[in-house]
Structure formats: structure tokens, C-alpha cells
Amino acid sequence: MPDPFRHYEGVPVLDLPADPPSPEIPALELLQGGYGSTLAADGPTFLSQLLFYSAAISASKRVPSTGYKYALRVNPSSGNLHPTEFHFLTRGLKEWPDGLYHYRPSAHMAEQRAIGDMKLKLPGGSAPIVFVLTSIAWREAWKYRDRAYRYCLHDMGHAWQALALAARAIGCDSFAFGHFLDDQVAQSCRLHEDEWPMLIVELRGSSIPVREPCAREPLWYGGHANQLSKESIAYPLIGAIHSTSKLSNLASRGISPAEPAATSSGEIQLPPSALSRRSFGEVARMRRSALDFLSGTQSMSLTQLSAILAATIPLFAADFATARFIQLYLYAHRVDGLERGVYRFWPERAELQQIKSGDQRVAAAGLSLGQELAGNACVALSMIGDLARAVHAHGDRGYRYVHFEAGAIGHRLYLAGEALGLGATGIGAFYDDEVHHYLNLTSKQGRVVYHFAIGYPVPDSRVEA
Ligand SMILES: Cc1cc2nc3c(=O)[nH]c(=O)nc-3n(C[C@H](O)[C@H](O)[C@H](O)COP(=O)(O)O)c2cc1C
């Protein structure tokens, strides 16, 4: 197993203050479009708060047989392998030197890779904080082989949404760019060759504690990227799909809006959402993936389901997100007031359309590669991505965007579930063709890209806060 922590060694490492203020806005309010505010008066505290609630270590787990302890983070990751790295550029933050940094989650510190006015050619380059999120595919391929590319993209969607929500919880806007020249960004940030830039996220807003930027010439420390594994196995399909979805010339610089998704209606109008006052700070750090769910008689209420689905409705702030590509199909096992069956969710009018009736527990678990948690949950979901429309609008790059959106929706499902006292788990392992067959989907209607399960988690005594 490759090392889950990338370090750029031999560079100055800056402390991020411990125990930054917790964002108090209720998580559900934030997920439905609200804004929080921050008490952080200087750059280090602001960055600490932002990263503590989006990317830091939040718990650990001990393997009972060996005693081995491993870290869990605020952002989830398939197999806990964490292929996503957070780099960030700062300009004019109070009491923090302008420069380019890499976040070190293992110590909650920032590796200073360069200082000065970096003038990097990045979209969003004039914002006071710009993140460059990268993926190290080998970390994921080690376990998931060719399928790993998808997981990297899902994980990226989760990481982006974790960052965007933490930013919003402390009062600033974020905007993500997926459309950039890959090699130019990799070279500008002097990334190690195994790191692929996937998303660039700018942060703006009056809550960011700023001063005048410095005009100092850049000074590079660079750093030596640690070797994650003694040897690595090449997965040519992963390299090929990544190259195919890369942008490499100026002609492809612009991005055009995608056609809007088709809308329709269902016969079931969802009721107003259940309420929860649990703060974003608490929910973000307490979020965990359930290993399994209690399969008894306890159901979730329709108002809880309504709140969870409402969290997926707001459009994302990204250059590729002018239209949505993901549709949600639900396998309802135990929801009060909702007959067992499969439903399609129509977000525009918050309605459900029943497309199958009857007990779906065996089907949902079977389709999710036989994982019982998808049958034991109160509700399981298939995210169906309109790859054809995405590729029509964005070329092969569209493949990435559909999966980013799925990951981002997944992150919102995790947090909404946690806010309501439920648990959730992202499920990347499913039988693609069987799902299409079961839901009667032609390729024009979309392809399954991600599964999810939400319910009452079986307590996991191995987790330590
Ligand atoms: C994209 C993605 C796919 C996942 N697929 C599965 C899965 O198929 N089965 C499962 O039990 N857990 C799955 N998980 C949950 C991870 O195993 C979990 O996030 C990881 O162990 C870290 O634990 P945490 O979420 O509690 O931080 C997935 C998570 C993500 C983000």
C-alpha cells in the first residue's frame, strides 16, 4: 500500500494554529444555501479553520487484531486511500507570507513551496486564496486497478465540496475551474509528475482577512516529493483516459454551457424538510462512513429524506456546472410514508416518481457488488450521469465533470445524513451493466457513476475521535 501522505520535504513548514474556531452555522442551513461567518482575524487562523473543517485528520481507527492505528479525514476517500492533495496559493493574507503551499494533513501544517508574488497562470489567479487540487492515481490504483480513475474523480468531487462548504461556513464564496491547461498548471506549480491537477478553486469574500499583497519576486523552495511506494505498477488505461480528458491547447481554453437537463415531475410531492440545529463544524468533523446499517424496523421519516434530497438541489459554483448531469434514483427500503420501491427524484419541483414497486433490499445490495449495507440502509441511491450530454458540451473532459458532480453530491448526502443523526456511505463498487438493466436505462438516458446508502449506522467501536 502506498504511503497515504504526500510531503514536499526540505521546505519551511508553517504551523496552522490548533483549535481554530468552529463554524457555528447549522449544517442543514448551509447545505440549503446559507452563509456562515468567521471569527478568524488573521491569515493563519483563517487557513487553519478552512482546512481543519475540509481536509484535516478528524479521527482514527484501530485494527483490533494488530493494534495498528490509521487516520481518517474530514473528506472521505474510497478505501481511505486519499489520492487528493491540497495545494494553495495565497496573496495578501494578513500575517501570512504570500506564496505557494502544500497542505500537510498529518500535522495540520503548510509546506511552503515558494514565497513572493507567484504570478502563476491559473484561472482565478487574482483571488486572495486559490487552491489547486491534485490526484495521485497510483495510490488508488494500487487497490482498485483500472477502476481507480473513477474513484479519484469521485474523491476529488468530495474534496472540492468539503472545501467549498467549509469556505461558505466561514463566510466566503468559492468557484471551481475544471477547464484549464493541465500541463501548464502542473508546470506552474512544479508538481511532482505523479500528481495530476484536477480542479482549481478560488476563494473570495469579505470574511478573508487581507492586507496589501507584496510585490516581492518569487523565491522557490520547491521541495522533494516523498516517494509513496518502492515500486509502482503502470495502469495504461488510467494514463490513457487521463490523457484523453486533458486540455492541451489554447483553442480549448473556453468553456461553453451544456444543454440544460430534461425536467419532468413525479406523483409524490416531498414534504418540507426536517430540521436540525447541529452546527457545520460539528457535523463536518463527526462525519464517518458507516461500515453497515442496522437492518431492523427503524425507518427514516419522509421529512428527513426531503432534507437530504434538498441538500443536493443547489447548483454548484463551477465553470462546468451551469447544467446538472446527475440524476438520482432511490431504492426506498424503510422510509415512513413511502411505499417500498425505486423512485426517480426530480429536483426542480422536489418530487419523486415511482418507477418500480416492492422490496428492493436484495436488488440494491446485489447491484452494489453484493455489499449488504446497500440493503440494510433505509435508502440506497444510484447516481446516473448523463455522459453523452456532458461529452457533447465539454468533449472528453466531460467525463471528469460528471464524476466531480457525483462526488460533490455524495459529500452533501454525507453531511445532511450526519446532521439528521443518520449515517451514510459512498459506494463506488457496483455492477454497471446490471444497474442499467435493472433501471431500464438506455445509454442515452445515462450511465451509473456512483452509489450511496443512508440509514442508521451500526456502531463502530474501532473509531477514536
Ligand atoms: C468514492 C468513494 C467510494 C466508496 N466506496 C465504498 C464501497 O464501495 N463500500 C464501502 O463500504 N465503503 C466505500 N466508501 C467509503 C470509504 O471506505 C470511506 O470513506 C473510507 O474508509 C474513509 O472513512 P470515512 O469516510 O469514515 O472517513 C467509499 C468512499 C468514497 C469517497
Which tens digits make up the pLDDT trace of 157-178? 999 999 999 999 999 999 999 9
Cell of 8: 514536499
- Which parts of the chain sit beneath pLDDT 50? none
pTM over 0.95: yes
Predicted confidence at residue 289, as pLDDT, reads 98
Predicted confidence at residue 195, as pLDDT, reads 97
Nearest CA to ligand 1 atom 9: 427
Predicted confidence at residue 234, as pLDDT, reads 87
Q: How far does the centroid of ligand 1 lie from the alpha carbon of residue 153, in Å?
A: 13
Predicted confidence at residue 462, as pLDDT, reads 84
Q: Which of 261, 268, 276 is nearest to 313 (CA)?
A: 261
Predicted confidence at residue 257, as pLDDT, reads 85
Q: Which of 425, 435, 450, 454 to mutate to test the pocket of ligand 1 (most atoms within 8 A of CB)?
A: 425
Q: How far does the centroid of ligand 1 lie from the alpha carbon of residue 457, in Å?
A: 14
Q: How far does the centroid of ligand 1 lie from the alpha carbon of residue 127, in Å?
A: 33
* Ligand 1 atom closest to residue 59's alpha carbon, by position in its atom list: 27
Q: Which of 410, 401, 448, 402 is nearest to 78 (CA)?
A: 410
* Ligand 1 atom closest to residue 288's alpha carbon, by position in its atom list: 26
Q: How far does the centroid of ligand 1 lie from the alpha carbon of residue 300, in Å?
A: 22
* Ligand 1 atom closest to residue 74's alpha carbon, by position in its atom list: 27
Nearest CA to ligand 1 atom 11: 291
Q: How far does the centroid of ligand 1 lie from the alpha carbon of residue 269, in Å?
A: 31
Q: How far does the centroid of ligand 1 lie from the alpha carbon of residue 281, in Å?
A: 21
Q: How far does the centroid of ligand 1 lie from the alpha carbon of residue 174, in Å?
A: 25
Q: What residues are in contact with ligand 1 under a 6 Å CB criterion?
A: 72-73, 76-80, 151, 154-155, 158, 288-289, 371, 425-429
pLDDT digits (tens, 9 = 90+) for 342-400: 999 999 999 999 999 999 999 999 999 999 999 999 999 999 999 999 999 999 999 99
